[in-house]
Amino acid sequence: MNHQQAQTACLLDTAAVNELREELIDWHFRASPVSFSGLTLGEAAERRVNLFEEGFFGPVVVLDEQALEHNLATMADWCASRGVLLAPHGKTTMSPQLFARQLAHGAWGMTAANAGQVRVYRAFGVSRILLANQLVDPAGLRWVGAELDRDAEFEFSCWVDSVAGVELMTAALDGVRRKVDVIVELGADGGRTGARDTETALAVAEAVHQSPALRLIGTGGYEGALSHDTDGTALAKIKSYVDDIKALTILLADKGLLADADQIVVTAGGSAYFDQVADSLTSGWPDGLDILPVLRSGAYVTHDDGFYREISPLGAHPRLGGIPPFRPALLAWAQVTSKPSPELALLTLGKRDASFDEGMPEPRLHRRAGSAPEPLTGHEVTKLNDQHAFLRLPAGSEVEVGDWIGLGLSHPCTVFDKWSLLPVVDGETVVGFIRTYF
């Protein structure tokens, strides 16, 4: 990457994305109404039907169009104002249509977690991809190498965090014409992957420098695994870690190990502490270092009603002033299928349909046939089975069998993988569909 390339928009095959509108709807999409059978996704969207009157099968998870657009624009504007680039982690949604919207809002590239995800991205022409893991699978490496040789516009980089990994990558890439760009990942005690100390990271960088198949272009890491809190101690821990990444970058540059990089990529930033990351990576660099600070936040696109609501810099307790908070864009609608006692109702939604790893679904809305949804308070989902949610009812609850309950969801990364097709709604009107590929 040179400076000009860094500012070049990430490419995407818009024709391939638009072709998704031509896919036929049938029983493969379990929540879709029978009336849509034989229609294309585009034709169904153009009908602008009511979610509840058209016969969608419950449960169904929907995306709120206005919240989506708000979140996309808010994150794009904030990144531009802070001088950081954004390569959203696409594993959150695995939706090329949402990738296209993120790129249209100025995203610099897309982040992936494994070679299979990169393959999906490439099927839709994504031209700049960060793989936020060390790739040691020979089949995946050979495919990436062939893609780089085939397409001169394809920019790819992945992590390295061990000398053994560098050796495996070098062996698998034997015969590939273009070197594969790599980023030394610095980890931390209690974290996830990454070299655990500067000495190890330096040895990894030196091994890359000797490799005929790899080129070192920067440093990176993931701070989100180090804390799930937002108190002063937690934020100081995050700052210290990102500062360590910065110090490692300066050390590698001083030793000439980043001399082959046209620009030095320094990347961190999940969806919980991107404010801390930006503060560190946009200041305090020595003169002469051409730094490209890149965030990889992904969950912002839908935000949530749980984990990220509580911890995001633009959540319910915002750490960033003067910026409208993100809005939750995911909502699950499930029907009351049983009310065996005045204190308990069972909903047609379970572990197969909704996330539960970072908190139970939260009852937000109550809808009775022929009526508009009303806010729902004092109700709680206490347990999920495979296909049932246990809804605890307070005294005087008006929830009855046949009613619909709108549930906010926590941790979007474990929602999208359960749905290959999600309606996009404006109010109760279906205005589009989002296709996912997991």
DSSP 393: P
Q: Residue 5: pLDDT above 80?
A: no
208 part of a folded domain? yes
Instruction: Say what angle helices 232-254 and 274-281 make with each other, to 10 degrees.
Output: 40
Structure tokens of 353?
A: 């349909």
Same domain, 176 and 136: yes
Name the helix (H) or strand (E) containing 76. helix 65-82
Tell me the C-alpha distance between 364 and 343, whole Å.
18
Tell me: do 362 and 283 sit in the same domain: no
Q: Are residues 335 and 283 in the same domain?
A: no
> Within a domain: residue 366?
yes
**CA-CA distance, 381 to 376, in Å (whole number)?**
12
User: 184 and 333 share a domain?
Assistant: no
Q: What is the pLDDT of residues 247-298, one digit of tens each?
A: 999 999 999 999 999 999 999 989 999 999 999 999 999 999 999 999 999 9
Do residue 288 and residue 377 come from a single domain? no
Secondary structure of residue 250 in the 3-state scheme: helix
> pLDDT for 22-60, tens place per residue?
999 999 999 999 999 999 999 999 999 999 999 999 999
Tokens 């937690």, located at residue: 234
Three-class secondary structure of residue 408 per DSSP: strand
- What's the whole-number mean pLDDT along residues 134-157? 97
108 DSSP β-pair partners: none
Average pLDDT over residues 424-430: 98
Q: Is residue 280 part of a domain?
A: yes
- Classified as helix, coil or strand, 23 is coil
CATH code, 25: 2.40.37.20
* pLDDT value for 7: 62
DSSP state for residue 340 in the 8-state scheme: E
Q: State how beta strands 214-220 and 264-268 pair.
A: parallel
**Whether residue 385 sits in one domain with residue 293:** no
pLDDT score at 341: 98
- CA quadruple 308, 311, 317, 319: dihedral sign: negative
In a domain, 276, yes or no: yes
Residue 97 pLDDT > 50, yes or no?
A: yes
Q: Tens digit of pLDDT for each residue in 229-242?
A: 999 999 999 999 99
How high is the pLDDT of residue 167?
A: 98
Report the distance separating Cα 52 and Cα 50, nearest Å.
6
217/362 same-domain check: no
Q: What percent of the chain has pLDDT over 90?
A: 98
Average pLDDT over residues 6-19: 91
- Percentage of the chain surpassing pLDDT 70? 98
Name the phi and psi angles at 399, rounded to 5.
-70, 130
Radius of gyration of the chain (CA): 23
Assign residue 183 the CATH number of its domain: 3.20.20.10
Distance (Å, rounded) from C-alpha 100 to C-alpha 317? 30
Is there a domain that residue 331 lies in? yes
Same domain membership, residue 287 and residue 167: yes
Across all residues in the chain, what is the average pLDDT?
96
List the beta strands (DSSP E) in 177-256: 180-185, 214-220
Q: Are residues 284 and 351 in the same domain?
A: no
Mean pLDDT of 351-360: 98
**What pLDDT does 1 receive?**
36
For residues 374-401, average pLDDT: 98
Looking at the domain assignment, is residue 430 inside a domain?
yes
Q: Which of 297, 318, 349 is at the close of a domain?
A: 297
How many CB atoms are located within 10 Å of the residue 372 CB?
9
Expressed as residue numbers, the domain containing 230 is 127-297
Residue-wise pLDDT tens digits, 268-281: 989 999 999 999 99
Q: Are residues 179 and 289 in the same domain?
A: yes
Q: Are residues 140 and 289 in the same domain?
A: yes
Residue 111's H or E segment, with its range, is strand 110-112
Write down the pLDDT at residue 2: 38
* pLDDT band with cut points at 50, 70 and 90 for residue 6: low
- Half-sphere exposure at residue 90, Cβ-oriented, CA atoms within 13 angstroms: 36
Q: Do 359 and 291 reside in the same domain of the chain? A: no
* Domain count of the fold of the chain: 2
Q: Report which of 376, 328, 381 is spatially closest to residue 351, judged by C-alpha positions.
A: 381
State the SS3 of 174-186.
CCCCCCEEEEEEE
* Separation CA 318–CA 329 (nearest Å): 18
